[in-house]
Structure 1
Amino acid sequence: MCTNQTTPEIDVTKLADFRQQLAGHGGIQHTEDQSVLIKPLDPRENAFYEGVEKNSAFKPFTPAYFGTIRLDDSQQNDPATHLCIENLTKDFVAPCIADIKIGTRYHDLDATPEKKARAVKMASERTSSVLGYCFCGLGLPGKPFADRDWITKLDKDSVVTDALMPLFRVAENRVGREYRLTVLQKLIERISEYRDVIQKSETRMIGSSLLIIYESDPDRVKASDGPQVDVRAIDFAHSHWLPGEGPDEQYLFGLDNLIQALTDICN
């Protein structure tokens, strides 16, 4: 059982591989009802989630955190202990999903000179260095989630034409032009709210992504009161709470450029 008392009951004998992961190192599983993801534990990420639990403004912009779980009786921490977080895709029928890494910086605060040099080179080869954001994954109905090689080759122009615009074209093709506009407006509003929280927070969000999800199933959309849209920050293995250090300017730079790109598409 997970250590957090609010966690749903989890039968570790009925876990299955999570097949909607767009980026990262893999190894994520989900519960039988698909409501909880079981992710290999990173102590720094777990510490960041524990900090989120104490921050009422930040909490709505991350997956729900359910503590940790041991998958066997082994006394070795690494293979047995996993993080339990909300599966953000669980309530969607035909989700359109984008994993967008935010920020210009890829190297952690304690990175060695060698790791820093590799991270700087990697950022320079992606749109992160010029826009402060880059696509790590794009999942559209009927398209394979694992096909991500082309994403690493996007530049500041093609990231809009080949990734952002196709992401929202699905809304128009499957539901209608007005729905596409409504989804964009809702996303801009949500990301702008999150940006205000970041501006008032003292963090360093290195390597963290925004997960953007919206529903594209026509029947589900018609049955709902409004667009089903979600935006959450994910992946905190290199994120830190740093009281007294001020807001994360390189992360804000990426959010501002992403908001501007969505606004341009909306207009």
Structure 2
Amino acid sequence: MTITSVTAIAKDELSKFAHQVAGHGDILHTRDKKVLIKPLDARETKFYKGAANQPLNAFFPAFHGTTRLDKSNDRENSNASEPAQDTHICIENLVTDYVLPCIMDIKIGTQLYDLDATPEKRARMELHAKRRTSAELGYAPSGLVFAGQPTGDRAWLYDLTKETVVTEAFVPFFNAAQAALDTEHRDLIVEQVIDWLVAYRDMVKVSETRMFGSSVLVVFEADRDQARKARMNNQSLVTVRAIDFAHSHWTPGQGPDCQYLFGLDNLIRTLQGIFSIKK
């Protein structure tokens, strides 16, 4: 299905996205599973549009514009005052080609609130960052799913510490790749994740943007046959992209985002340290 900014899609042409590991509100996907449909956020849409001519765009999911979701035939919509159409943002589905995807959503940065946050929300999000590893490390896993398992409760991720984020999140997550094939396969995936993070970090250094509350999404294949085939064909074993830009801005003249870079640097060092990979 081709998505444009003027096409209205009937709700019955879409299905609920089964691999949502973080965020709020249901995400849908098209019949061919190539495009995700999520409720429009004006700031996120503006950020994606602004990325079109920016080098950082190569590190984001492909943006397919917006579409109107036609709910006029939705029998579950019993509220007559609710509009029959509303606008959604359309982005690339990063897990569409995976059979048994392992997925981790990692929130990046020490600041989780936007520029226009109220004092109350700012105070609340600062406490949230201190409770998690965001304030101390500049990153925090906010969603995790192992191959073929439901997303389940994410609350335990919020209580991870500097030590347990390694032992209870990163190690078991990447060891799923080892379980699929072998230790070499796991290390190849971690190396590719680190390579992507280093390239992304270096691009963020020369960009002028603020991406509060955005994430890095990591996806790799845990299906044994698919993983073996990709490795034999020397194909990429993992997909990594920066996502979630509802609180992101292009900020020309303000220089790079130091608190965001702090998180990327620490994440790179953490993964290098866990798996003894030197770059």
Instruction: Tell me, yes or no, if the aligned pair for 2:11 and 2:71 is still in contact at 8 Å.
Output: no
| Displacement of 1:129 | 0.5
Whether 2:161 is the aligned partner of 1:155: answer yes
C-alpha offsets along residues 161-217 of structure 1, whole Å, 9 cap, x if unaligned?
A: 100001111111111011011111111001100001100110001000000111121
The correspondence of residues 114-193 of structure 1 with structure 2, limited to 5 A, is 114-193=120-199
In percent, how many aligned pairs have the same letter? 51
In 2, the alpha carbon distance for the partners of 1:78 and 1:250 equals 42
Partner of 1:39: 38
In 1, the alpha carbon distance for the partners of 2:51 and 2:83 equals 23
Partner of 1:205: 211
Partner of 1:256: 265
C-alpha offsets along residues 133-166 of structure 1, whole Å, 9 cap, x if unaligned?
A: 0010111014321221211110110001100001
Give the CA RMSD over aligned residues: 2.1
The correspondence of residues 1-150 of structure 1 with structure 2, limited to 5 A, is 2-4=3-5, 12-55=11-54, 57-72=55-70, 80-150=86-156
In 2, the alpha carbon distance for the partners of 1:144 and 1:35 equals 20
TM-score scaled by length of structure 2? 0.89
| Displacement of 1:79 | 6.0
Structure 1 unpaired stretches of 5+: none
In 2, the alpha carbon distance for the partners of 1:63 and 1:78 equals 28
Partner of 2:70, secondary structure, is: coil
In 1, the alpha carbon distance for the partners of 2:9 and 2:71 equals 15
The 1:77/1:235 distance shift into structure 2, 3 A limit, reads: farther
In 2, the alpha carbon distance for the partners of 1:90 and 1:2 equals 16
| Displacement of 1:4 | 4.8
Structure 2 unpaired stretches of 5+: 73-81
Instruction: Tell me, yes or no, if the aligned pair for 2:209 and 2:252 is still in contact at 8 Å.
Output: yes
TM-score scaled by length of structure 1? 0.93
In 2, the alpha carbon distance for the partners of 1:249 and 1:70 equals 37
Count of equivalent residues:
264
